[in-house]
Structure 1
C-alpha cells in the first residue's frame, strides 16, 4: 500500500478551507495543475472522491468532509511537533508567508524583508499584497502587516514605526497652471487622481481640522487602483494625488512633488506586524520577529 505525505493532507485541507484550487495553490506555493494532480492521485489511492468539481466551484463531498474532520486535528499536532523541532535549528531556515497591502509592502520591503534575507540566507519570504483584510491564520500566513487599527484583537501586534500620514501632492508645473489649493474645498476645482478601493468604491479623501474629520469626494480625469500608477500620473502633471506619505516621501524631498494641505492631514495609526500566539515557533519565525523589533527601535530613535 502506498504511503501518503503531509503535503497531500495539507492540500486537501487548504482546498476545503479556501473552496478553490487556485486559491489553495497560491497558499501552498504550487501550481494549480500540480495541486490538481496531487488530489487526483490521492483520490485514486483512496478510491473515493473528496471534492465535487465544476468549472465554477469546488465543494467537499461527504467523504471529503469526514476526512478533514478526522485528519485536521492530527495534522495540526504533527505540524506543531515539526515547529518544535524547527525552533531548535542552529541556522534559521524555511518559508515565511506574509500578507500585507501594497503601500506597506513598499515601505518595509528593504528594511525588514530584504534585511532578513541578507542576514539569514536559508530563509525564504513569500509576500501577498492585497487591499482586503484577510484571516491570516485561516489563509495560511505566518504574519500580517496592516495599520494598527485594522489588526484583529486576538493577534499579537508590534508597531513598526511612528504614525503614518496621508500626503496630498502635485508637481510645480501643475500648480503653476491650475493654482494652489489652500483648503480641501479648493480641490473641487482641480483635476484629482481618484482611487478605486478593493470593494469597487471610490476612496473619499480624508482630512481633519481642529479635531473634526472631513471627507471629500474628488473628481478628475483618471481613476486607478494602485498607488504606484497614481504616482506616475501625478509626476506627469495630470493632476493632484492623495497618497500614504511613505509612497511619495522621496519625491517631496527631491522637489519632484509639492506637498499640499499638510495642516489638514493629521497622524494616522502606525503600521504593525501581527501574528497569532505560537508555543514553539520555528527559528525563522523568531528571528523575523526579533528583526521587526530592531526595526521598530531604529525608527523610534
Structure 2
C-alpha cells in the first residue's frame, strides 16, 4: 500500500460518514484542501470516482458505497489493534467517539464528560449529536448514548442514571386562561406544542396508567423537532409541552412551569451507553464505563 494509504482511507471514510469534506476535515484535524487531495489521490490510483461532488452536496458513487462497505470494517480492526497496543500505557490516550441524542449528551456532560477529561487529559472525546439512530459500527463510533429502550438488542448496554419520566407542562399564566386537563382526552381542547421525530413522522404523545396505554394526536399550530426549542416555546406561553422530566425540573421547582397529568406519565428506563459485543474494547471506552459505574449518576 502507498505509504499515505491509511490516511487516505480514513479521509474517505470520514467524508462518507460526515457527508461533506469540510466537516470531515474538522473531524480529522486536517485542512479541507489536504483532505480533498488525499481523496483525489486515492481515486486516481484506483481509477474510479468514489464520490459525487456538487457545490451543495457530497454523496458516494456506487463504487464508493462498495468500497466503504468493505474498507470500514477493516479500518475498525486496524483501530482496534492500535487501541490494544496503546492500552498497555499506564493512562489511556487517543480519541473516544460517541454518537448521542442531544438531550442525552446534555444530561451526562457536566457530571461525566467533564470529569473524564479532568482525569484523562491525554484523551479526546468527540461527541456527535443527532436525532436519527445510526449503525455506530459502520459509521466509526466507539459507542452510542440513547434512551435505553432505543438501544439495538445486539449491543452491550451500560445503564446511566435513574429511570426517566415524561412531563406535560405549561406556564401558570396559560392555566389562568385554560382549565388544567384531567385526562389525555382533555388535550383536544388545548393548544399543544407538537413534536416531529427524526424520521419526519409526527410524534404522538404517549401516556399510560394502570395498564392502559394511550397515544394522543394532540392539536397545536407549532411543530418542532428539538426539545430545547419546545422548552423555549412552553416558557413563552405558547401552550402545553410534553418533555422529558429532566428538561423541565428546574422550571418546575422555580414555579415557572406547572405540571399536569402526572399520574399518566409513569417512569421508564433511562439512558444507556452502548457498544458492540465481540470486539476489542478501546482503553478510553473502558475507563469511561468505569467512571459511569463509579459516579452512579442520578
- TM-score of the aligned structures, taking structure 2 as reference length: 0.87
1:53 Cα deviation from its structure 2 partner: 2.7
For the pair 1:191 / 2:191, whether they are aligned, the reply is yes
Quote the Cα distance in structure 2 between the aligned partners of 1:143 and 1:2.
Answer: 31
1:72 Cα deviation from its structure 2 partner: 6.3
Deviations 1:89-147 (A, max 9, x none): 22222111111112211211111112211222222111111111111111111111112
Partner of 1:251: 251
CA gap 1:77/1:294 in 2 versus in 1, 3 angstroms: same
CA gap 1:275/1:149 in 2 versus in 1, 3 angstroms: same
CA gap 1:166/1:26 in 2 versus in 1, 3 angstroms: farther
Partner of 2:173: 173
Contact 1:19-1:58 at 8 Å conserved across structures = no
Quote the Cα distance in structure 2 between the aligned partners of 1:179 and 1:75.
Answer: 59
Partner of 1:213: 213
Quote the Cα distance in structure 2 between the aligned partners of 1:68 and 1:167.
Answer: 42
Calculate the aligned-residue CA RMSD, in Å: 2.9
1:78 Cα deviation from its structure 2 partner: 3.3
Partner of 2:47: 48
Partner of 2:262: 262
Partner of 2:122: 122
SS at 1:112 equivalent? helix
Contact 1:21-1:32 at 8 Å conserved across structures = no
1:68 Cα deviation from its structure 2 partner: 7.7
Contact 1:11-1:24 at 8 Å conserved across structures = no
5+ long unaligned stretches in structure 1: none
Partner of 2:103: 103
Partner of 1:286: 286
For the pair 1:131 / 2:131, whether they are aligned, the reply is yes
Quote the Cα distance in structure 1 between the aligned partners of 2:69 and 2:157.
Answer: 31
CA gap 1:77/1:173 in 2 versus in 1, 3 angstroms: closer
1:205 Cα deviation from its structure 2 partner: 0.6
1:158 Cα deviation from its structure 2 partner: 0.9
What is the aligned counterpart of 2:61 among 46, 59, 76? 59
Deviations 1:54-111 (A, max 9, x none): 436431549x957985x66764553332111111122222111111112211211111
CA gap 1:33/1:256 in 2 versus in 1, 3 angstroms: farther
Deviations 1:135-175 (A, max 9, x none): 11111111111122221122110110221110001111111
Contact 2:165-2:266 at 8 Å conserved across structures = yes
Partner of 2:163: 163
1:275 Cα deviation from its structure 2 partner: 0.7
Contact 1:12-1:68 at 8 Å conserved across structures = no
Superposition pairs for residues 33-44 of structure 1, below 5 Å?
Answer: 33-44=33-44
5+ long unaligned stretches in structure 2: none
Contact 1:165-1:266 at 8 Å conserved across structures = yes
Superposition pairs for residues 12-51 of structure 1, below 5 Å?
Answer: 12-13=12-13, 18=17, 20-22=19-21, 25=24, 28-29=27-28, 33-44=33-44, 46=45, 48-51=47-50
Q: Number of matched residues?
A: 294
Quote the Cα distance in structure 1 between the aligned partners of 2:32 and 2:203.
Answer: 34
